[in-house]
Each structure stands twice: as C-alpha cells, then as structure tokens.
Amino acid sequence: MKQLGLFLLVAGLFLVTACSDDDDDVTTPDAGDVTLDQSDDGSVEEPVEDTAVPDTVEEPDQAEEEPVEECPYPTSSGLIQCGHPMPPLYWEGATWGEDEDFDFRLTEFFCSEEYDDYVALVFIVTAEGCGYCPGYIDMIENNAAAINAAGGLIVFVDAQNRFGGPASNVAARLYCDREGAREEGICVGDGSTQPTMSAIYNMPSLEGVPTGFVVRRSDMEVVADQSLSAFILDYVDILEDIDEANCEPPPANCTALEEETYEDNDTAETRATIPEGCFVEGVCSFTGGICTDSLDFYQVNLAHNWRLDLLFSHATGDLDTYVWDLVNNTVLMEDGDPVGSYSSTNNESFEYAGPAAIVVSGYQGATAPYTLTITDLGE
C-alpha cells in the first residue's frame, strides 16, 4: 500500500512538470478578476485590478420599523387583584351558547368592536364539588337579563372538576349544561386558562367559592371583588355606575361609640342572642352601627313568624341584612336568591319564621349607624 502511494505521488509530480513546460501563460482561477501575466523571459508582471464600476450599487439593508400596536392592552402585573388591570388571559375552545369552539381572549374583549355593547365582564367562579355553588349560579341566572341589559358579559369559570383537579373547557361546558348556565354567558375551565393555568383559582384574594369579580372594559381594571366583600355583590348596581366603581372602601360614617351594645358580635360564632327581655309588647328595638368593614351577627329565637326592620340613611351608607346559613357559613339562599333585604333605598325589611341567625353588613364597605327592630308577628 505504501508503494502504491509513493507511485501516485511521483506520477503527480511528473504531470505537473509536464504541464508547466508546455504552457507559456498561466492563469489562476477567477479571484476578483485579478490576472497574472508571465512574459517570455519567465518574469511575472504586476497584477492589474479590474476597476470597472458595477452597473448597480446595492443599498445597505434598512432596519425594518417595529409595527405600532393599534390597541395596546393595559399593562398588568400578571396577578388578578382588585384595583389593578386584569392579565391578558385567553381560553381556546370555550363555550358561548351554541358555539362550543369559541376562542375568548381578553385582548379582543378590550379592543374588538364585537364587544362594544358591553361595559364590563362579570366573572362568576365556582367549582363542581361546591355544595353552595349551584345556588349562587341560580342567583346569577335569575339576574342575567338585568346584568346583560346593564352592559355586563357573564363569564362562568369552573375552577375545579368533580375530582378536585383543574377543570378543562370541556368539563366547564358539561357543568354549565347541568346548571343551565350555557345560554347566560361564556363557560370556561380554569384548567384551560392561558397563558397561566388556574390563574383565577390562584388569585390572591380568593379564599373560597362561589365568588365573583367585575372587570371594567375601558381599562380592564378589576373594580369589584366578592372575596373582599362581606355581602353578595349587586352586579347590576356596579355595572350601572361602572365609571365610578373602584375597590377603595368609603370613609367611616360612625364611630365605636355608636356600635351596638351586643359587641363583640362580628362573626357568626360570636353572634349576639337577642334576649326575651328586649321584647316589649312583641317588639324589640335597639341602636347600633356598621362602623368598620366588619359585620354584625344576631340570633333570633322566636318560634314563629317575625319581621326585621333595619332603619338607616342610605345617603350616609347603604346597609343590607340577611338570614345567615350556619351550616355553609354564608348567606342563606332559597330558589337562587338571598334571604333578606338588600335594596338601594333607605331602610331594609323582611319576614321570616322560626329561629335564625341574621347579619347586618355594609354594601361595598359602606358604614352607617342603624336602628334594628324585631317584631313578633305571632303564629
């Protein structure tokens, strides 16, 4: 093998020598049109460069300008927080009415003319293992027409499936079908939330379900949060005054001196029992006040029908009163509606029968002194 390599090397040298002897001129391969000329005496002349100007001159590439975004989405921290813009979440394959493959994007809700009839999103957050959630959904369905008329687009969010895991859009669709919510708004599963799965379930203020929050379209700011409120949000009232809605609590309109004599009764566990001795000719009346963001709980032990009257000035602060569900530790619901009185006028009044826990609260953090009267209506 080594002999064969040596033979080829010698043969190659022979061929190169032979070619050099036969040719007078040697031209190198093209290299920018530079030519080497060899004279008869064997000397090499200096190379002559081709100085011809090319027919066309290429302009240097111009840097492309960044496109200007026509509808920039408000800057968000990435968290869902009251008083801050909502992150640009989206759901591919959501359900809206008969459309079971609807892509819902908050960026489009903010920018697209398709949503010009709406002033806000009303997110209703539930879970399939939540016993109280169907009643809350019923309440929303009962008020869906009024919410829609006030410019609210309802988004039902299924946070957890029946196994306790993040719910997909498919699971949310089936849950909405079971609860009859499909026709009232958009149904999404928080397990299908993008770009961050379960972003709603993991919002800092969420301590349990059902809950809800409102996102104003003009700036995509969260302007109301059920989790931060001691009462059921009046979504229609919020929507009708959406430009003024905010998460800041109003200033206190009463002091600790105006609190009722039954303090401390700020929780259902520490609720004050209204004594029999308070009733004079079947009527018990006393003064109190919601002077902070806390609640006032009482226990009524009448065995038959009775009426509650809560007297206050709505101009000072809007108060509401409900029967409290001690089992689920929330407002008692019947046929999808809270049991109690929660108007937007002076005073609240409702009737009930039998022993019950009751609560007095300030709407969206409102404060005001009040007079509470319980009247025994007899059998």
Strands 305-311 and 356-362, sheet pairing? unpaired
Domains in the chain, CATH or no CATH each: 90-244 (3.40.30.10), 256-378 (2.60.120.380)
Provide φ and ψ at 194, rounded to 5°. -125, 150
Confidence class of residue 67 from pLDDT cuts 50, 70 and 90?
low
Q: 258: exposed, middle or buried (C-beta count within 10 Å: 0-12, 13-18, 19+)?
A: middle
Among 104-108, 112-116, 258-262, the minimum mean pLDDT is found in 258-262
Share of the chain above pLDDT 90, in %: 60
Strands 99-105 and 319-325, sheet pairing? unpaired
Q: d(Cα 208, Cα 46) in Å, to the nearest integer?
A: 90
Q: 244: exposed, middle or buried (C-beta count within 10 Å: 0-12, 13-18, 19+)?
A: exposed
| Mean pLDDT computed over 67-87 | 88
Q: d(Cα 130, Cα 162) in Å, to the nearest integer?
A: 9
pLDDT of the residue at 230: 67
Confidence class of residue 72 from pLDDT cuts 50, 70 and 90?
very high
**Closest C-alpha to 120, from 18, 223, 23:** 223
* pTM for this predicted structure: 0.65
Structure tokens at 49: 């460069």
Q: Which residues, other chains included, contact 322 with Cβ-Cβ below 8 Å and sequence gap of 6+?
A: 231, 331, 332, 338, 339, 340, 341, 342, 358, 359, 361
What single string gives the DSSP state of each residue in 287-338?
EEEE-SS--EEEEE--SSEEEEEEE--TTT--EEEEEEETTTTEE-EETTEE
Q: d(Cα 166, Cα 198) in Å, to the nearest integer?
A: 7
Q: What is the pLDDT of residues 151-206, one digit of tens each?
A: 999 999 999 999 999 999 999 999 999 999 999 999 999 999 999 999 999 998 88
